[in-house]
Each structure stands twice: as structure tokens, then as C-alpha cells.
Amino acid sequence: MFFVDTIELEGLGNRSYLAGGEQTAVAVDPPRDIDRVLAAAARRGVRISHVVETHIHNDYVTGGLELARTAGAAYLVPAGARVSFPRVPVSDGDTVGVDAGLTLTAMATPGHTPHHTSYVLHDGGRPVAAFTGGSLLIGTVGRPDLVEPRLTEQLARAQHASAHRLATDLPDATAVLPTHGFGSFCSSAQSEGDASTIGKEKAGNAALTADVDTFVADLLAGLDDVPAYYAHMGPTNAAGPAPVDLTPPAPADAEEIAARLEAGEWVVDLRNRIAFAEGHVAGAFNFEADGKLATYLAWMIPWGKPVTLLAESAGQLADAQRELVRVGIDRPAAAATGGPDRWVREGEPPASFPRSTFAGLAGLGADRVAVLDVRRDAERAGGWIEGSVHIPLHELHRRLGEVPDGTVWVHCAGGMRAAIAASLLDAAGRDVVAVDDGFDSAADAGLPLISG
């Protein structure tokens, strides 16, 4: 008998896996906070004998090197990956024993990266699962444009070939277990569904149903923006990430929070957007802990800029630290818990701004105020409010001077990104209203829309 445990990284939209038998197991594409993998192994009562990487990751910092050191495991990395640390280089067809009757075989599947490798788990010689990393995902494939622009089309064609190799070489019942595709920007499209097999992918994945030219053209046309922090992930992973430190940051009182803001540092309030709008430290930015904190904060903050975290509880702070180390924001400069009454200097009132809906905007008249759309280009292409200004959220902090004068009503697709944008505008001294509403409600409210 074998097992496969899934370790969800919901904030980043990724999955890692622990697979094995009665005594030993292999960890696939582990996260930076390796204690989660070690805990999974402890629950199973198994020793981690191997740690494997499908590729050098572009969207998160791996815990593979540290996990292998800690567990005394062999660290398997594709032979074509250029890295600066000792590892076991893996080539197509290499096989290792995992446990009695369980083996893991490397299968070269270039496309997401030139060296990308999938791993097929065999039970008694029978393929039972394929750890496909950023190759064949659920209903789609991994992006081919994260390595080098001049390689993008070549890698897109390689993705098509790799998907067909997996579909040809593996039985239909083989489970498809990708790392990306659950909200990760490493996926070329959003996956639908939570589980799949080779047979299901044959029936519905464009990489397996379309000819190569059609597939490549559609794939390249549908690629979305690339988070800026991705530029730092590959080099960090190739160099060998350092162990993480998840101990609490140095505490900050109201005076220190104010001093850090005055020094131009980032102060990030992790509370929900309703609480933030009602009262917050003037100059702080609102990145909700329950949103895609790591993705958007790492995307927008100038790399290396000190960040102070404000949380409603020690638990919220600890969870945020864990999210952030996964994208290389290792140690907050300082932190505080509680609320604005403890974070604002005595005698200074908290800042605030109003929230509304698309119906509220329609009642006021969208032509009477500045409307700012902070959705990404691909989202706006589907339609927008007539007369609205478009600045994607991840560009807003560099383009604040382009926002029209007067009160700004800012919206996204659902409310989370509008809240981040509203906090940036509020910190810049602008009068702002955060539209906390789904964009589908804009039409229902009678706002004039332009079709994409």
C-alpha cells in the first residue's frame, strides 16, 4: 500500500506532496516552511528518504535543500538545472526506490522550464501517480514565459510535446498531481477542479486536444501579467535558500510605527478591509491576511524594503510571517498586534475612508467622480465602466501621479484589490472610496459598460 498526502499552499495557489509506504517517503516540491512536511511525515510515522524538485521554481522559495539536510534525505534536482549546492542530478529515466514495492522514475517534461522533470510513482511496477509540477496541470499547463522571452514559443511547443508524452506513456487511471494550477500565476490559465487523471486530461486539456500550432497560439495569447517578485525566486532557489526564522519580530509601539513610516518604510496592516477602512494608522497599507497576501505584497513592495506588520492577533501575525517567507520576505523589521488604539500616537486620530458598492456609484453618477479600475489587463479586456481610468494594482504605487484629481472611487473584480489600492491612495493623501463589490454588479446597477 502507498499513500500520497497533499500539502496545500493556498495563498500561493500551489501544492506540495508527501508520498510513500510503511517506512519511508519522498517529498515533492516542498515549501520553504519545512515544518509542515516534517509534521506530515511524523503523522504517517515515516522517514523522508528523498526530496525531489520538478524544476527551479519561479514563484516561491523552495524548502527542498533545508528539508533534505534536516531529514538526511537525498536531494534530487533535474540535471539541467544550474545550481550552486550539492544535489543528486536527475536525468530522464532515472529511478529510485522509495519503499517496499514503491519506486519513483524521472520523466523529462520540458516546457515550464527547459529542465522541467516530472516524477512517476510506481506501486509494484504499476504507474499510480505522476507528480507533474508545472508541466501538465488540471485542465491546462504551466506558463512557458517565465525563463527568458526568446525561449517562450520554444518552451510552449515543448509543453505540448511533454503533455503528449505523459498522456502516451501513462495509463488513463494515473493520478495527475501538479504543483501549480490552484491559483498560482505559474499556471497559464486557472484550473478547474481539484483532482484529475491522465484519462480526464486527455478528454479536456487543450494541450492534448488541440494541434500544436493552435495550442501554442492560444497559450501565448492568454498569458497574464508576471508578478515582479518572480525575478528573485529563481536566483534564490538556484543559490540555495537559507533556513527560515519564524520567531516573532521585534515589537513596535506607536512611536516606532510612526518613525518607520516617516523613514519611508512600509507598514502593512493585515486586518480585514472593513476594519481597516473604519480606522487605521495614516500611511499604512492594507494587505488582508486572508487574501493573497504573499503574492500581492511581494509583487508591489520595492524588493528589500523594510516592512512592519500590524496584526489583530499573534496568530494572524505568525500566519503572515509563514506566508511571506515563502516568497523571500524573510524577517519583518518589526510588528505590533491589537488595533489602531495601540498603533496611533496619543492625540492623533486614526485615518479612515468610506466603502461603497457599484449601486452606490451608480446613484452618485460615475461621470461625476474619478473611477479607477485596478484589475489586470486581461480582466479589463472583458469590459469596463465607461470613462474609468485603468491602472493595474501592481503598477499603482509607481503611477499614483496618473490618478485623476478629486475623490477617487476605486474598484477591482471583488473588493480585495480595491482595498489595497484605496489604502495606497489614502496614504498618499487622496480622498478615496473603496468599492467593495463584485464587478458583475456594475451592470446590474445600471452603470454604462464598454465591451471588450
Query: For 297-311, how does the pLDDT look when each residue is reduced to its tens digit (9 = 90+)?
Result: 999 999 999 999 999
Query: For 262-301, how does the pLDDT look when each residue is reduced to its tens digit (9 = 90+)?
Result: 999 999 999 999 999 999 999 999 999 998 999 999 999 9
Q: SS in 3 state form for the chain?
A: CCEEEEEEECCCCEEEEEEECCCEEEEECCECCCHHHHHHHHHHCCEEEEEECCCCCCCCCECHHHHHHHHCCEEEEECCCCCCCCCEEECCCCEEEEECCEEEEEEECCCCCCCCEEEEEEECCEEEEEEEECCECCCCEECCCCCCHHHHHHHHHHHHHHHHHHHHHCCCCCEEEECCCCCCCCECCCCCCCCEEHHHHHHHCHHHHCCHHHHHHHHHHCCCCCCCCHHHHHHHHHHCCCCCCCCCCCECCHHHHHHHHHCCCEEEECCCHHHHHHCECCCCEECCCCCCHHHHHHHHCCCCCCEEEEECCHHHHHHHHHHHHCCCCCCCCEEEECCHHHHCCCCCCCECCCEECHHHHHHHCHHHCEEEECCCHHHHCCCEECCCEECCHHHHCCCHHHCCCCCEEEECCCCHHHHHHHHHHHHCCCCEEEECCCCHHHHHCCCCEECC
Q: What is the predicted pLDDT for the residue at 287?
A: 98
Amino acid at 340: P
What are 382's three cell numbers?
A: 472583458
Q: What is the predicted pLDDT for the residue at 209?
A: 97
Mean pLDDT on 119-136: 98
Amino acid at 22: E
Percent of the chain with pLDDT over 90: 94
Percent of the chain with pLDDT over 70: 99
Report how far Cα 185 is from the mean position of its chain's Cα atoms.
Answer: 6
φ/ψ (deg, to 5) at 429: 85, 15
Query: What number of residues does the chain have?
Result: 452
Q: Please report which confidence band the pLDDT of residue 387 belongs to, taking 50, 70 and 90 as the band edges.
A: very high
Mean pLDDT on 16-22: 98
Mean pLDDT on 332-360: 97
Q: What is the predicted pLDDT for the residue at 192?
A: 66
Q: What is the predicted pLDDT for the residue at 184?
A: 85
Q: Could you give the CA distance from residue 63 to residue 73 in angstroms, rounded to a whole number? A: 13
Residue 202 CB burial class (10 angstroms; 0-12, 13-18, ≥19): middle
Q: Which residues are 117's β-sheet partners?
A: 108
- Give pTM, 2 decimals: 0.94
Q: Could you give the CA distance from residue 155 to residue 112 in angstroms, rounded to a whole number? A: 7
Q: What is the predicted pLDDT for the residue at 181?
A: 87
Mean pLDDT on 169-184: 94
Mean pLDDT on 83-107: 97
Q: What is the predicted pLDDT for the residue at 136?
A: 97
Is residue 260 within 8 A of residue 252, CB to CB? The reply is yes
Q: Could you give the CA distance from residue 396 to residue 426 in angstroms, rounded to a whole number? A: 13
Query: For 208-259, how does the pLDDT look when each residue is reduced to its tens digit (9 = 90+)?
Result: 999 999 999 999 999 999 999 999 999 999 999 999 999 999 999 999 999 9
Mean pLDDT on 51-80: 98
Q: What is the predicted pLDDT for the residue at 210?
A: 97
Report how far Cα 16 is from the mean position of its chain's Cα atoms.
Answer: 13
Examine the pLDDT at 140 and tell me if it is beyond 80. Answer: yes
Q: What is the predicted pLDDT for the residue at 189?
A: 74
Q: What is the predicted pLDDT for the residue at 10?
A: 86
Examine the pLDDT at 137 and tell me if it is beyond 90. Answer: yes
Q: Could you give the CA distance from residue 196 to residue 205 in angstroms, rounded to a whole number? A: 11
Query: For 180-207, how does the pLDDT look when each residue is reduced to its tens digit (9 = 90+)?
Result: 988 888 887 766 678 999 999 999 999 9
Average pLDDT, the chain: 96
